Amino acid sequence: MIDGVNIIKSYLKNLGTNPGVYRMLDADENVLYVGKAKNLSNRVKSYTNLKGLSHRIAKMVSLIRSMEFVTTHTEVEALLLEANLIRHYKPHYNILLRDDKSFPYILIDTTHNSPRVLKHRGAKKRKGFYFGPFASVGAVNSSLNILQKDFSLRTCTDSVFNSRSRPCLLYQIKRCSAPCVDKISTRDYDALVDEAHDFLSGKSDAIKGRFTIKMEEASREKKYELAAVYRDRLKSLATVQSRQDATQGKIEEADVIAAFQSGGQTCVQVFFYRAGQNWGNKAYFPRHDKDQSVDLVLPAFMSQFYDNKLPPKKIFINHDIEQKSLLQKALCIKAERKVAISKPQRGDTLSLINMVEKNAREALERKVAETSSQQRLLKGVAELFDLEQPPARIEVYDNSHISGTSALGAMIVAGPEGFEKASYRKFNIKSEDLAPGDDFGMMREVMTRRFKRQLSEDPDRSAPTWPDLLLIDGGKGQLSAVLGVLEDLGLTNIPVVSIAKGVDRNAGREDFYQDGKKPFKLPPNDPVLYFLQRLRDESHRFVIGSHRTRRAKKMHKSLLDGLPGVGAMRKKALLLHFGSAKAVSGAAIQDLEKANGISRALATQIYDYFHP
């Protein structure tokens, strides 16, 4: 503790009073904490007063061995930088937003003369109109379905569009107007695009008015099929509007954020309103210390949440937070327009924020219940396999291949919070001397690569990425292979269990193998058995899905893809001349020269590539 305080004091001598960001590092230069300050000197000095520190912060101070500083012009700039660094380093002593994926959008791509509508996630580099964010891909798919039914916009890629000679099935079922084969004029298609744009922008009332007029006109002219099309579009739009709550139309663009805390855990529920419609919601469970209140957790969550997202014009929250004006200024700078943060006091917005808070409370209750159930199951696993304590990290391994081809190993991870998908790993089997289908050899390679790397990164075995239990899909042979690798690496204290289906291959009759024990089964209705089956099935799902993806990529790969000095045009010339990639690989130098654009030197290079 004294060492940490003295290290902090040594930096104070040359530390100015400017605003900025500070990082605290341990002996291995891992970032312990990232903080921002209006006055760096005063803020850092506060860590030297041990009596004013909580137990958690005091422990952090004892680990500090160095510090790094970045001075900024303003406190707002420091807040933005702090959020960026927290998201990058994920320090142990910061409040962390754990699920920070970008949200999906709907894009009307205007790079083509006949604009296309599609899902989009990531950087907004394409030219077009972006609508979102949506809380989930399901919400995007639902909206795309409406756009296809009501506005008949195309969803195909440009290459498919350019190669069409007749309408596809979507045209037959009235979900595309087939601009690819001129079933609709450019002017009429652009009108549909404009209507879809207005719909996604919240102008559905104006669109309904236009559709009503067109339906009545078609009916008067006895064009009953066309009138029916507009009738169905009106019905669909009415359905969309009826899904919105009482605030529909009153909240054009806002995020409604409510935090609820219980038992030292917090759930932050975010509802997205765009174009006067509810575009979905998502619950977050930020990692923080148990003694940190909602007033601290909520602003920390918001600064990280909007670090890689464009904030809306309005943000409604359910708690008064410190430095609200500072956070508001930072978001205004990021959005390059006004962003207002407020806590509703009355009316529909108060009812809405109360509803969102209720959702946050219920989500946290479900999370606590699931965690409690998970803890009981982990305790059961510890008792079953004679572990000293419930495992905090279980790693499950499986292999997949077809007659030895595209061989792949996979690792999934589970713990007290359930499946930890960010920790999943794939291992492309690289050994060339393995016999096709050698499951034991593949398992040895996976284990060797996994734990050699772990030892090199953490020789002291202090990181939380070391497993408390290895669960292997297989029987006695796989267990022996894994134990052999661990023994060679000096890791004999990691418990290993293999799980194999019985002779009849039925779930519920699994055999468990553990070193020093006879194979045993569990009762068919045992909850721990169901839990272990779920782990095994998740490893199956992950490895088989990864194997299929790899196999699909391999199927689309040509023999000519790796040819040095051969681009797309020459590749096309070779295929036109010889008819197939296999014929190119077997051609003589003289024959290769005859292809368009292939010189003597390049022909020799191609021949040498296939005949090393």
C-alpha span between 309 and 122 (Å, rounded) = 10
Task: Check residue 249 and give its pLDDT.
Answer: 46
Q: Which helix (H) or strand (E) holds 262?
A: strand 254-262
C-alpha span between 73 and 14 (Å, rounded) = 18
Task: Check residue 479 and give its pLDDT.
Answer: 92
Is the sign of the CA dihedral 420, 531, 416, 300 positive or negative? positive
Helices (DSSP H) in 497-565: which residue ranges?
527-555
SS3 of 150-180: the string is: HHCCECCCHHHHHHCCCCCHHHHCCCCCCHH
Question: Is 308 exposed, middle or buried, given 0-12, 13-18 or 19+ CB atoms closer than 10 A?
Answer: middle
Task: Check residue 247 and give its pLDDT.
Answer: 46
Task: Check residue 240 and give its pLDDT.
Answer: 55
Kindly give the parts of the chain with pLDDT less than 70: 98-102, 135-136, 202-204, 236-250, 402-406, 502-508, 551-559, 561-562
pLDDT tens readout for residues 60-105? 998 998 888 888 878 888 887 888 788 788 888 888 776 656 678 8
C-alpha span between 26 and 1 (Å, rounded) = 13
Ordered by where they begin, the domains of the chain are 2-89 (3.40.1440.10), 105-242 (no CATH), 254-366 (3.30.420.340), 394-554 (3.30.420.340), 568-610 (1.10.150.20)
C-alpha span between 143 and 416 (Å, rounded) = 36
**152 CB neighbour count, 10 Å cutoff:** 22
Backbone dihedral angles phi then psi of residue 377, each to the nearest 5 degrees: -65, -40
* Non-local CB neighbours of 536 within 8 Å, separated by 6+ positions: 396, 398, 471, 473, 499, 510
C-alpha span between 417 and 392 (Å, rounded) = 9
**Nearest Cα to 390, choosing from 415, 410, 371?**
415
Given a contact cutoff of 8 angstroms between Cβ atoms, the answer to whether 451 and 486 are in contact is: yes
Q: Sort strands 394-402 and 405-415 into parallel, antiparallel or unpaired.
A: antiparallel
Concatenated DSSP letters for 292-305?
Answer: --HHHHHHHHHHHH
Task: Check residue 481 and give its pLDDT.
Answer: 92
Given a contact cutoff of 8 angstroms between Cβ atoms, the answer to whether 220 and 236 are in contact is: no
pLDDT tens readout for residues 215-270? 888 888 888 887 887 787 777 666 555 444 444 446 778 899 999 998 788 999 99
Backbone dihedral angles phi then psi of residue 228, each to the nearest 5 degrees: -65, -35
Distances in whole angstroms, Cα of residue 577 to Cα of each of 386, 518, 588, 604, 609: 68, 65, 13, 17, 19
* Non-local CB neighbours of 508 within 8 Å, separated by 6+ positions: 524, 529, 533
